[in-house]
Amino acid sequence: MEKRWYVLHTYSGYENKVKTNLEKRVESMGMEDKIFRVLVPMEEEIENKDGKKKSIMKKVFPGYVLVEMIMTDDSWYVVRNTPGVTGFVGSSGAGSKPTPLLDEEAKAILKQMGMEEARPKVDFVLKENVKVIEGPFQNFVGHIEEINAEKHKVKVLVNMFGRETPVELDFTQIEKI
């Protein structure tokens, strides 16, 4: 069983209450090994009031909460019986298990929120040739000079203007050749 993201439908305006209730239930029922993160997708919006810019956090999907969990009968029961939860999105009937979000959908939502997305697997090695696939150095080819696994960054030496130039990049910005 693997952990996946599911979407809960809630009473509108109760998203934060559902998040709090669910996190308390997970703790009190010892479900930390099956239910991991509960999120109310938010994004920052700049409002212009009386000539002053004000930053506010706005719900991206009012009436919905995301939960990262391993779907078992127990975890399903805990989540669906949380006060304020009206059901899972993507379940076809009362007795059927819901459909998880596609990985791409979950990553897109997490990225939009500025949250850490699933960490890329580290399978790069020193001196390995790579191609930059994203950013200002896109399509440049170089070799890895340094790997910082903790920060998920690499230093790549790319050939610019006839000399090797070190460029710091995220793992997601490069690919093996």
pLDDT tens column, 132-155: 998 899 999 999 999 987 777 899
Answer for the pair 141, 158: CB distance below 8 angstroms, yes or no.
yes
User: Global pTM?
Assistant: 0.61
pLDDT at 157: 96
Percent of the chain scoring above 90 in pLDDT: 58
Is 137 in contact with 167 (CB distance < 8 Å)?
yes
Helices (H), 29-170: 73-80, 103-112
Closest of 59, 84, 66, 69 to residue 36, by C-alpha = 69
> Do the beta carbons of residue 154 and residue 142 sit within 8 Å?
no
Give the number of C-alpha atoms closer than 13 A to the C-alpha of residue 57, restricted to the C-beta side.
Answer: 7
pLDDT at 94 over 90: no
State residue 118 phi and psi, 5-degree precision.
-55, 130
pLDDT interval class at 116 (50, 70, 90) = low
Contact 146, 103 (CB under 8 A): no
Q: Which helix (H) or strand (E) covers residue 65, if one does?
A: strand 64-69
Q: Which domains does the chain have, with CATH numbers?
A: 4-112 (3.30.70.940), 129-176 (2.30.30.30)
Do 155 and 145 contact (CB within 8 A), yes or no?
A: yes
Phi, psi angles (nearest 5°) of residue 36: -105, -60
d(CA 147, CA 163): 21
